[in-house]
Every structure is written in C-alpha cells, then in structure tokens.
Amino acid sequence: MTQPILLRVSNFKAYVWDVDDINILRSHHHICGILTGTLPHLSSQNIFLGLPLQLMPEEAVLLVENGIAVLVDDPSAHYAPSPSTLRLWKEARLNDARQQIALTEEKGSIEASNPDRAMSENAKRKRKEREERRARAKTNAAPSAPVEDSPSPHPTSENPSQAAIGEPLDSTVVMPSGSYTVNIPASSSKLEWYAPHSNVSLTIAREAGIWLHPSTLQERARCGVFRDLWEKGYYMGGGIKFGGEYLVYPGDPLRYHSHFVASVIEAPDAALRPMEIVAHGRLGTGTKKAHLLCEWNDETQVVSYLSVEWAGFG
C-alpha cells in the first residue's frame, strides 16, 4: 500500500512540497494546483514558478476523503532541537559542503589539464575564433607609451591576482575562486526535530483547528461539483479570470485548452438573474468556451448541468 501524500497546512491552506508527489497528483489523480514559489536566477518570476504547489480547498478535500492524502499541521510539526542535535546537524551540513567543494575543484582541475575533453566541437570552434580575433587585435594595436605618474594600482604581495595595466594574463593560469555553489537540502522531513502529525480525516483536522473547509452551503456545493466533474475525468483549474469558479479541461492542462468555464449554483432555488446568463454566454463565447452552470442539490447530493453558449455570435 502506497503512503498517503502529505498536505502541509498553514493558515488553512494546503501545500505540496515534494516534486514526486506533484507528479503523482497530476498524472494519476487529475489534480492541478497552483505553483506559488519562485525559482532562483530566473528573470520572469511571475511566469516561471516553483514549489510549493498550493491546492484549492476542493482539491484538498477530495484527496483526503479518497484517502490519497492526509493533512499535516506544518507549523506545529517543528520542535526546538537540542544543542547536541543542532551541533550534529551543522557538522553534517558543513561536511556535505566540503565534499561538494572538493568535487567541484577536482572537476575544474581535470578540465583545466585537458580542456578539449570537456568541450564540444562547437565550443572548440568558437574558442578558436576568439583566439584568432585576439591575435589580430594584438597585431593591429599600436604600442602605447608608458605613463610615469599613473595612479592605477600595481600588483603587490598583498594582492597578487591584480595585474598591471597592459600586462597580458596567462590564459593557462586558473585563478583560485572563493565562491562555490553548494546545494543544501531544504526538506523538513529530513530534520530530526520535524515530527508531523497526520490528520487522516476532515473531522479530525477540523477538531484540531487546522482545517475548516467545507463549513458553508456554498463551500459544500463547490466541493460537490468539483468531485462530480473530477469523477467524470475532467481536470479543473481556477476560473476567476473567465468569470467562473473553475476552468474545465478534457485532459492535462499542459496539452489541452479548457472547454468550459464552470459556475457553481449552491441550490436549486438559488436566484440567477437573466443578465448573468447573458454575460456568462457572451464571455464564454468570446473566449471560445461554453459556460457551464452547475447546480448543486445538498439534500440529494446530485449535480445538474446546463451549458450556455451565445448562438450566432462571433
């Protein structure tokens, strides 16, 4: 039996931090979620997002009710480590950093001693072109007269890496660098002072005060509609930009466009103005989608659907 996925709850929001769990949710359980973290060294931070994956409340409720995931009160799962535990953790992290630095230096020394081994044919060609351009520029350059009272600094024993002006640097000399890229594992599950307590049901999580959804008729209606569409094989994403609760995809959102914009009607006797129907129809047609009105019956636990499309428009 596979272990349930841990949904780490903070401020009544469910997050997934494990990449493998995200792949399982998307490939096997039709759960999309929203990536909310930023990725380092990327300029477009509003486009390329990373961990964690934040789930809609409906997604979290569905996963817990089906036994696919459990809720974890993440803030209370971190305990204060003892001084000896913290000292061992720091020593292990420093040893790991030293090993990574040693491997990096070993790799750099191998490439420096045999640069052609680590270079592709294209890189070799570009390197040869750069060397030829430098040789031509050096040949065509006129010799400059020495400046007696130049304020520019000269190399000293305290700063041997600083070369005098006009003095060529030996390209075969590899200057020592004090900066390294060291990967530090950031998963809380590997810390000795992290002890999560799993809440296997929504009732237990509600009694523990970490999860409240669904607590109103509207929330129950959204969860019921989401579950019904999910059981029909659809993928759901947020639909607020298109005037609804969900965007309904026939398959993986990375491969398909959404076919419907779904709005949830919480009860059969809920009021729905004609202007709303017209607005939903025109907006859906303008975005090449049909608007799906999803009516929830809290007594029978049944969903009724009505699609609206603006005929003869566009």
| pLDDT single digits (tens) 118-163 | 556 777 778 788 888 888 887 876 555 554 444 444 444 344 334 3
The answer to whether the CB of 238 falls within 8 A of the CB of 246 is: yes
| pLDDT in the model for residue 143 | 56
| pLDDT in the model for residue 45 | 53
pLDDT of 22 strictly over 70: yes
- Per-residue pLDDT reduced to its tens digit, 187-202: 777 787 888 888 888 9
Cα separation of 132 and 248, whole Å?
Answer: 59
Question: Confidence class of residue 31 from pLDDT cuts 50, 70 and 90?
Answer: confident
| pLDDT in the model for residue 47 | 56
What residues contact 285, with CB distance under 8 A and at least 6 apart? 309, 310, 313, 314
pLDDT of 168 strictly over 60: no
Q: What mean pLDDT is reported for the chain? A: 79
Mean pLDDT of 271-275: 89
Q: Which helix (H) or strand (E) holds 135?
A: helix 121-140
Share of the chain above pLDDT 90, in %: 27
Tell which wins on pLDDT, 149 or 287.
287
| pLDDT in the model for residue 151 | 44
| pLDDT in the model for residue 303 | 96
pTM, two decimals, is: 0.67
Residues of the chain with CATH 3.40.1170.20: 1-79+195-212
| pLDDT in the model for residue 163 | 37
| pLDDT in the model for residue 247 | 92
Q: Which helix (H) or strand (E) holds 281?
A: helix 274-286
Cα separation of 48 and 38, whole Å?
Answer: 7
Q: Which helix (H) or strand (E) holds 53?
A: strand 49-54
Residues of the chain with CATH 3.40.1350.10: 214-314
Cα separation of 114 and 186, whole Å?
Answer: 35
| pLDDT in the model for residue 158 | 40
Active site residues: 249, 257, 289
Task: Tell me the C-alpha to C-alpha distance, in Å, between residue 128 and each of 37, 108, 109, 140, 174.
Answer: 42, 21, 21, 19, 19
- Neighbour count for residue 177 (Cβ, 10 Å): 9
Alpha helices in 169-236 (DSSP H): 202-208, 217-231
Mean pLDDT of 241-263: 90
pLDDT of 226 strictly over 80: yes
In CATH terms, 1-79+195-212 corresponds, of 3.90.550.10, 3.40.630.30, 3.40.1170.20, 3.30.565.10, to 3.40.1170.20
* Domain 214-314, architecture per CATH: 3-Layer(aba) Sandwich (3.40)
- Per-residue pLDDT reduced to its tens digit, 38-69: 665 555 555 567 778 899 999 999 999 999 99
